[in-house]
Amino acid sequence: MAAEQRPATEAARIADQLHRALHAKAWHGPALLEILTDVDAPTAAAHPIKNAHSIWEIVNHVHAWTGAIRRRIRLEVVELENEADWPPVADKSFAAWKRTIESLTKEHDTLEREVAVLTDEQLAANIPNRNHNVWATLHGAVQHDLYHAGQIVILKKAARA
């Protein structure tokens, strides 16, 4: 079996990791969208674990942070608090769940495209009001996606128990 081609730049490598975390071919196992494939709206909205977020709330949170990361890598000051950090689920319909997944995918894919063309100088730039740079922020974004993917796997199992 041939080894995969390594992306040419550091930015392209990070964009590749973002892609793998959301779409497929993540080293650890299923990517976020693969985990969500068989989740329907009622399961997404359920709270099978007391005092824990629902799958839908977690997806909204990941979406919010994907947008925040896009703005932060443009060196904008971005703080997410309360409902901006954990957007509530207002409409629990099947159509709304489908729109939620589509919106997350679009936002994440846009982040990947923007990251892929960053220069090494842009990756080294400090994020305003933070003690880290764009490079660390983007690696954190991958880690954030996968952290919440793991939570979703547990919630799916709890919902089906």
pTM exceeds 0.75, yes or no = yes
For residue 27, the model assigns a pLDDT of 81
Provide the token pair at 156. Answer: 């799916």
Contact 21, 32 (CB under 8 A): yes
User: Which one is predicted more confidently, 8 or 42?
Assistant: 42
pLDDT of residue 3: 58
Can you give the pLDDT at residue 129?
93
Q: Is 147 helix (H, G, I), strand (E, B) or coil?
A: helix
Which CATH superfamily is 10-160 part of? dinb family like domain (1.20.120.450)
60 within 8 A of 8, measured Cβ to Cβ: no
Q: What is the pLDDT of residues 99-148, one digit of tens each?
A: 999 999 999 999 999 999 999 999 999 999 999 999 999 999 999 999 99
Domain assignments of the chain as residue spans, ordered by start:
10-160
User: Does position 4 have pLDDT exceeding 80, yes or no?
Assistant: no
